[in-house]
Amino acid sequence: MKLKTVAMTGVLSLAGLGLVGAGAHAVFTTTTSSSQTVSAGSPTVYTWASNAQTGCTTEALAESNGCTSITLTAATVGSTFDETSQVGVVNDGAIPVNLTSFTVTDSDLGASGVNGYFQSGLGLCIADSNGTVTQGLLLSDSSYNKAEAVTPILLGTGDYTVYDVDLYAGGNSTYCDAAVAALPSTAEGGADTVTITVGYTG
């Protein structure tokens, strides 16, 4: 019995060697692959001005407080005035954006009495890094709720730009060469609210 067991072991060993020999002539194949996840980012744009409401007066505060809309401090003026503001816009998002429009709206459009006289005498100037966007009397358009076409300004991540806004009467604007007359006496005590919205795409 012992000899038979040894003989069988020898046969198995030879068979095993035969399998190894056959494997030496086989063709081995393998594959590789790669993948990438692409995510759509969200544009994040904030705005500030030194004469805006508390919390939105600097770029750092605008980013910290999420200022997407600002209200400039109200001013009391005479018949001749020049109220200027420098408004900053910063791209705080992960993708580049293009500033594509300035939309000017007047909540008191068509006002009567002293507000109407005041409104009709207001001059407006907006200038960006490409030059003048709009200038002249605010109500030079019969219904001044419109978007001003502008040359797009590309803002990369972390980039910012500053545009100039000037409400004035009784002379030239600080930023634009467009004179308007002084306010009439019938405008005394009047008020007006002008909103400028910056449009962007990303």
Residue 58 in tokens = 């600097």
Q: Which residue has the higher pLDDT, 83 or 149?
A: 83
Domain membership of residue 108 as a residue range: 45-201
Q: How many domains does the chain have?
A: 1
The pLDDT of residue 105 is: 74
| Residue 33 within any structural domain of the chain | no
169 domain residue, yes or no? yes
Say which residue, 107 or 82, is predicted with more confidence.
82
Residue 118's pLDDT is: 86
Q: Provide the pairing of β-strand 45-49 with 131-134.
A: unpaired
Is residue 117 a part of any domain in this protein? yes
pLDDT level of residue 139 (50, 70, 90 thresholds): confident
pLDDT of amino acid 35:
76
More confident residue, 200 or 31: 200
Q: Is residue 6 part of a domain?
A: no
**Assigned domain for 100 exists:** yes
Q: What is the pLDDT of residue 182?
A: 93
In a domain, 147, yes or no: yes
Q: Residue 125 burial by CB count (10 A; 0-12/13-18/19+): exposed, middle or buried? A: buried
Q: What share of the chain in percent tops pLDDT 90?
A: 19
How many other C-beta atoms lie within 10 A of the C-beta of residue 75?
10
pLDDT at 5: 44
pLDDT score for 141:
52
> What are the strands of the beta sheet with 146-155, ordered from one edge?
146-155, 97-106, 194-201
pLDDT confidence of residue 76 = 85
C-alpha span between 50 and 142 (Å, rounded): 32
Q: Taking 60 as the threshold, does the pLDDT of residue 183 lie above it?
A: yes
Let me know if residue 68 belongs to a domain.
yes
Residues whose CB is less than 8 angstroms from the CB of residue 134 and which lie 6 or more positions away in sequence, other chains included = 102, 104, 124, 125, 126, 148
158: left (phi over 0), alpha (psi -120 to 50) or beta: left
Give the pLDDT confidence score for residue 15 in this predicted structure. Answer: 44
Tell me the per-residue pLDDT of 58-97, one tens digit each, with 9 for 90 and over: 999 999 999 888 888 778 888 999 988 899 999 999 999 9
pLDDT averaged over every residue in the chain: 78
Q: Is residue 53 situated within a structural domain?
A: yes
